Chain A
Amino acid sequence: MTLLQAILCGLVSVYGVFDFALGTLYLNRPIFLSAITGLILGDFKTGIIIGATLELFFMGAVSVGAYIPPDVVVGGVVATALAIVNGYSTEIAITLAMPIALFSLAIGNLITITQPFFLKRADYYADKCDAKGVVRIQWTMGLINCARRFILTFLALYFGATAVEAFVNSIPDWVISGMSAAGGLMPAMGFAMLMRMILTKQILPYYFLGFVLAAYLAMPSLGVAILAVIIVMVKFDFLNPNRSETGEMVNSSTSGGGIDDDF
């Protein structure tokens, strides 16, 4: 692969992150990135086909809630480039690209160490009423992520898959899998922050109600949300047309709702 091609493929990976700045258009997925990679490497059609195949592979790996998937951007672009340049099958190409995707995820988790510094800086600007300063911080963090994708994609393609594999293999397994284990725990930190904001003693039981529904009945979060809406409608008597203007609940003992009082 030529230097120019490796740089251009790196830029495709950069777009894979920059998509978030444009409004999460979901063009940060193999279906688009692989097609463009194919175009750069002179085989547009194969790129499109590989993109569709990879998309089916990675269907599950989207960011739902706070779950961060293995790096689909770097993994997808590198796999596509390897498949087109070396004529590998898509399956072999993705297997070869997997170490670099996992490595990228590990680096990404390592970069999270810098986040508190940036957030503190953003707070400082907000305190000075410098809105542009806060936005600069947002862009700096986004661009750091772009740089990580560019460097890894470029290195993987310019120095070749075997060199990358040898390098990644020289890192002990437990470092990489330990990093992704840590990444799996970190969403709990986000939930804890959110709970610090809204949790009170009065609503604590509902936290465990939601947890138990998901734990024992495997109820999806939308199902839990619907059930929660039903519970509060009954609890606060929102459907009672006799609800008084002051917000006091009209005692609905005549309508026989004795069981509801247990809330």
Chain B
Amino acid sequence: MTTSNENKTNMLTKQDLNRAVFHGLGMEWGWTYERQMNLAYFNMVRHALEKIYKDQPEKLHEAMVRNCEFFNITPQLAPFVGGIALAMEEQNAKSDDFDTKSITAIKSALMGPLSGIGDSIFLSGIRIIALGVGIPLCLQGNFLGVVLYFLIYNIPAFWLRFAGIYKGYEIGTGYLDKLKSSGLIDKVMQAASIVGIMVIGAMSITMVYTSVTMQIGSGDTSASLQSVLDGILPGMIPLGVTWLYYWLLGKKKINILWLIIGTIVVGIAGAYFGILG
């Protein structure tokens, strides 16, 4: 058993963290609609969890189940979140009254904002720069263009993975502990979930992209139902669909499998009758 005066020593070494980065490379490998990168996240932290809860089979069991929950983020930023979460798992191992819900809360609060930032930096930023350098060479048939594209994109990506997990672990062990003891952690968590939910609200309009192609009226006065709906409230369809799922998943406790099948049926029926496109 551990005692309280061991609280300051870290259980995970730099090697453990590097190992987590390595096992967490496949963030988009085994991706699902339902829980997205949850298996990849699990794969990233599993060895560290086994080490942290070496002598506590019951807590290990809880941690295994807990770490299978929903996860999604820009892949390069996953180790940063993993570092913070592992530091919190470690505190859970060292104390008996740690609220494990706060681990889930921090993880899910960080996902939205960090994905927004990460996707902008990597996909709209670094990737385009890499292509800008690589493509002109490729158009001349020079393979060096592909090599430069690869390096420009991946050097920052890998640097961020390692730097991220060290920094995240450091923040998790030092800063979060201080915040917790000062009672500030609830505020930080609430602040993070506000930022998270605002980004989710914004993303539900840009990421859901099915449009209603049905026309209303005929001849010169005809208008697509989409433009009519957008005239009332832009993004009405993504908003409605999201809340429909939310309701079905919660109040109705509908199995996700039926939701997927239902969505496909609705999509095909909608296309057949010319409503969706």
Binding site for B on A (CB under 8 A): 20-27, 31-32, 35, 44-46, 48-49, 51-53, 55-56, 59, 62-67, 109-110, 112-113, 115-119, 122-123, 126-127, 129, 131, 134-135, 137-142, 173-175, 177-200, 202-204, 206-216, 219-222, 224-225, 227-229, 231-233, 235-236, 238, 245-247
- B64 contacts A185, C-beta separation under 8 Å: no
B residues near A200, Cβ cutoff 8 Å:
193
- A67 contacts B209, C-beta separation under 8 Å: yes
B residues near A221, Cβ cutoff 8 Å:
115-116, 119-120, 199, 202-203, 206
- A65 contacts B207, C-beta separation under 8 Å: yes
Chain B's nearest CB lies how many Å from the CB of A81? 17
Chain B's nearest CB lies how many Å from the CB of A224? 4
- B201 contacts A207, C-beta separation under 8 Å: yes
Binding site for A on B (CB under 8 A): 25-36, 38-40, 42-43, 46, 49-50, 57, 60-61, 64-65, 67-70, 72, 75-76, 104-105, 108-109, 111-113, 115-117, 119-120, 123, 127, 130-131, 134-135, 138-143, 145-146, 149-150, 153-154, 157-158, 161, 182-184, 186-187, 190-211, 233-235, 238-239, 241-243, 245-246, 249-250, 255-257, 259-261, 263-264, 266-272, 276-277
- A216 contacts B234, C-beta separation under 8 Å: yes
A residues near B260, Cβ cutoff 8 Å:
112-113, 115-116, 186, 189
Pick from B111, B127, B238, B239: contact of A26, CB below 8 A: B127
Please, how many angstroms separate the alpha-carbon atoms of A51 and B134 in the complex?
11
Chain B's nearest CB lies how many Å from the CB of A142? 4
A residues near B184, Cβ cutoff 8 Å:
247
- B135 contacts A113, C-beta separation under 8 Å: no
- A126 contacts B120, C-beta separation under 8 Å: no
Please, how many angstroms separate the alpha-carbon atoms of A165 and B29 in the complex?
30
A residues near B30, Cβ cutoff 8 Å:
137-142
- B131 contacts A59, C-beta separation under 8 Å: yes
- A64 contacts B123, C-beta separation under 8 Å: yes
B residues near A228, Cβ cutoff 8 Å:
113, 194-195, 198-199
Chain A's nearest CB lies how many Å from the CB of B28? 4
A residues near B239, Cβ cutoff 8 Å:
211, 215
B residues near A115, Cβ cutoff 8 Å:
32-34, 260
A residues near B145, Cβ cutoff 8 Å:
31, 48, 52
Pick from B46, B157, B245: contact of A189, CB below 8 A: B245
Please, how many angstroms separate the alpha-carbon atoms of A190 and B65 in the complex?
20
Chain B's nearest CB lies how many Å from the CB of A234? 11
Please, how many angstroms separate the alpha-carbon atoms of A204 and B193 in the complex?
10
- B40 contacts A66, C-beta separation under 8 Å: no
Please, how many angstroms separate the alpha-carbon atoms of A208 and B197 in the complex?
9
Chain B's nearest CB lies how many Å from the CB of A207? 4
B residues near A113, Cβ cutoff 8 Å:
257, 260-261, 264
Chain A's nearest CB lies how many Å from the CB of B190? 7
A residues near B140, Cβ cutoff 8 Å:
49
Please, how many angstroms separate the alpha-carbon atoms of A5 and B169 in the complex?
48
- B267 contacts A35, C-beta separation under 8 Å: no
- B117 contacts A238, C-beta separation under 8 Å: no
